[in-house]
Chain A
């Protein structure tokens, strides 16, 4: 049995970064990847799958498809897949279990009543609220369908407890290292396009930092879109918004892992408007770029279709090997175990993302050994705990008549409102960043399909055809053009508080196609986070007022399930909805009348501007489930991302984050992976 210097589980982005760094330094690396092998030619096949899929979700290019959604490729049950994962289709209304009732207290262990039916949903969700973010299990990982947003975290993001008395602090020294060295390294590896002077001038006041003084991004920034420019123009010079007094409000271009010029043998962005789910030309960075480099060092071996199933620990408490199961599918598409093995090395790295890494650690439990009674690396009891996301508040609108902004063009996003990500209010309620969408109402409302069908058939699914007009010819052209060219949306990425009761654990009864246990999810949003939604809504109305826009945001408490003829089969409670709190009603009552109109609220006049509740979406950000910290009693990993329990075990990825902050996680997890690679190299040198 070959022995390596380092064994890495997971070839997403973090795993390949470590493999590339160590392989370049002459170390022998074994990379285990659960999913299929990934030659470059696969991109065209994925693109074709996407074009032909009648449901254009983030997972739509990447087979297999879960559950009951119609279309191509034909769906299968997670229980029959070799490497099932969470997909957006899992959470469609057709998969909501009508018999589900939210638990009034912590759900009893072993309970098998789930929000979404297990035939469709890989994650077994006990609630009380659903966890909505998803991921991929293939070489390159979830970066195949990340958006590319590459924002640095802010200074106070790392000291939430000492600055604001909420959440927890990151380990000492991590932030300084990121600014001094590792953010720069990650931005170079990914290839981030941005103008540092602009970022500093707009966000320096809220704790955005760069070193050294003359640091420049690898590529100049991506041009803003007409949507961005219209919003910036309408906001003027940073008006003083009600409930946001003293805070700047401006539109800032978004640093992105997306070529603004040819670089690294990849083309510049051509505005395919498809970053999620797949960039047709790989102008957007994905983990296969780094993986390629890693393999080319000649020191990295990758075994694909190899699912890590158990971490073995010797009598000294060191990891001694990782068992894996190999699989393939037969001619009929049925999954078969084809072999197994044990990977051995000096140092081990888990990089399988925030659900699968804790799942592996929990699967490795050994009740006969006190150290391993709750799993490997879990004497803190926190493996799988503190599951967080950015619950996304989606707000959409039409620009006023005559003010066309031509969305559906360019990258999916080119700018945001970042200036509200920090402030003293964070001691009371969640901060958020605002992502400006360039894709019209595609995410919000399923356009262009929904509105096109509405005006051809006379329906009103998209809210723009209340009189049920049936159009054709020139009037159809004019109506659709007017609608699509004025559509736009904002997405508020709201920060969550870490909560040990939001966590992943193992099912005792349900398994995947390889017989491995499926993840059970308990998840909730704290009042701190929910209050952030209320402030997001108050902010959105003021943006709409400033622009003269007409709001079409919906927060439905019920969802309809349709049969193919369009008949409503049943109504279900929208699981991703939470009610207004009585304590917040005065926040809305105290608003001036112009912030309560149907125009800026999309509520009937009788509502007096008070929402009934809020709907949220997942942002695709899974973090927190193997937290790093300076105290082994309250953390899984130390500040070097090394297990407190097993000295030769490291873990990387967004699972290490003590807090989620308001920025997208990929840049920071990449920077931390570079930092971990240095720690591992140092450890190997002294071994």
Chain B
């Protein structure tokens, strides 16, 4: 079985743009496989700018010395003075919305090679699938669950949820060890 060559960069750019770790959005054991669902959907409705986005991501990610995720993202989205094809930036944002909300917001008018047309829709969106809705990152980013799909048990809402890091999979780096012990405060 061959893996789609665009899957890895798609997961990579999705993780970078959403702020969620690749292990969370594309776990090793994954019967639902939203990355493949989302890859197929996004690619089919956007054309060349999609491939350009992934190519740019791969090029920027391979630079030495390495760029930070912030620097890569700014270039992909055309922020902070960077030049970028508006359609490529729009595809990037559509992919972010797909992950966060489980809905596809068509970034610009597009006709497929076999004549299917998709018209720009930045307002309403189309739910990609029930699983896409349930797995939406907006529910994770608020440290909760999709409305209509709780995996928690009675009374959980009376207690604080797990920390945000548990949801994003992006734990902050451990603070550096101090060079020498801090001086003891003098007695008052």
Do A and B interact with each other, yes or no? yes
Which residues of A come within 8 Å of B, CB atoms? 47-48, 50-56, 70-72, 223-226, 229, 260-261, 268-274, 278, 280, 406-411, 414, 438-440, 442, 448-449, 452-453, 456-457, 470, 472-477, 480-481, 484-485, 562-566
Interchain CA distance A163-B105 in the complex, whole Å: 57
Given known pairs A442-B147, A448-B101, A480-B142, the reply for A472 and B158 (CB within 8 Å) is: no
- Contacting pair B154 A268 (CB below 8 A): yes
The interface residues of chain A lying within 8 Å CB-to-CB of B123 are 562-566
Tell whether B49 is near chain A: CB-to-CB under 8 Å: no
Instruction: Specify the main secondary structure of chain A where it touches its partner.
Output: loop
A-B pairs with CB below 8 Å: how many? 173
Q: Within 8 Å CB of A563, what residues of B?
A: 123
B73 to chain A, nearest CB (A): 5
Near A by CB (< 8 A), chain B positions 120-163 give 120-127, 129-130, 133-134, 136, 138-139, 141-145, 147-150, 152-161
User: 21 A–B contact pairs at CB < 8 A?
Assistant: A51-B127, A51-B133, A54-B124, A269-B154, A271-B150, A271-B157, A272-B149, A406-B142, A406-B160, A409-B156, A410-B156, A448-B100, A449-B103, A472-B77, A473-B18, A473-B19, A473-B69, A475-B19, A477-B19, A477-B170, A485-B143
Pick the contact of A278 from B139, B143, B148, B159 — CB < 8 Å?
B148
The 8 Å CB contact of A452, one of B124, B127, B138, B156, is: B138
Q: In the docked arrangement, what's the CA distance between A47 and B134, Å?
A: 11
- Whether, in the assembled complex, B17 has its beta carbon less than 8 Å from a beta carbon of chain A, the answer is yes
How many chain B residues sit at the interface, stated as a range, is 35 or more
Measured CB to CB, the nearest residue on chain A to B158 is A223
A225, A278, A474, A563 — which one has the most chain B CB atoms within 10 A of its CB?
A: A474
Taken together as a complex, chains A and B put the C-alpha atoms of A71 and B96 apart, in Å, by 20
Does any Cβ of A come within 8 Å of B70's Cβ? yes
List the B side residues contacting A474 at CB < 8 Å: 19, 69-70, 170
Q: What A residues does B100 contact at CB under 8 A?
A: 448, 452, 456
Tell me the B1-60 residues at the A interface (CB within 8 Å). 16-20
Contact B121 A271 (CB under 8 A): no
User: Which of A224, A272, A440, A456 gathers the greatest number of chain B CB atoms within 10 Å?
Assistant: A456
CA distance A559 to B71 in the complex (A): 39
**Smallest beta-carbon distance B7→chain A, Å:** 20
Q: Given the known inter-chain contacts A226-B160, A480-B142, A481-B141, please indicate yes or no for A408 contacting B147, CB distance below 8 A.
A: yes
Cβ of B67 within 8 Å of any chain A Cβ, yes or no, is no
Known: A226-B158, A470-B79, A564-B120. A273 touches B150 (CB 8 A): yes
Say yes or no: A485 contacts B158, CB within 8 Å.
Answer: no
Pairwise interchain contact A54-B125, C-beta atoms closer than 8 A:
yes
Task: State how many angstroms separate the Cβ of B78 from the closest Cβ of chain A.
Answer: 9
Q: Which residues of A contact B69 (CB under 8 A)?
A: 473-474
A70–B122 CA distance with the chains assembled, in angstroms: 13
Residue numbers in B under 8 Å from A223 (CB-CB):
155, 157-158
Given A53-B127, A54-B126; A273-B142 close (CB under 8 Å):
no
* B119 interfacial contact with A, CB 8 Å: yes
Chain A residues, Cβ within 8 Å of B119: 564
Q: Which residues of B contact A564 (CB under 8 A)?
A: 106, 119-124
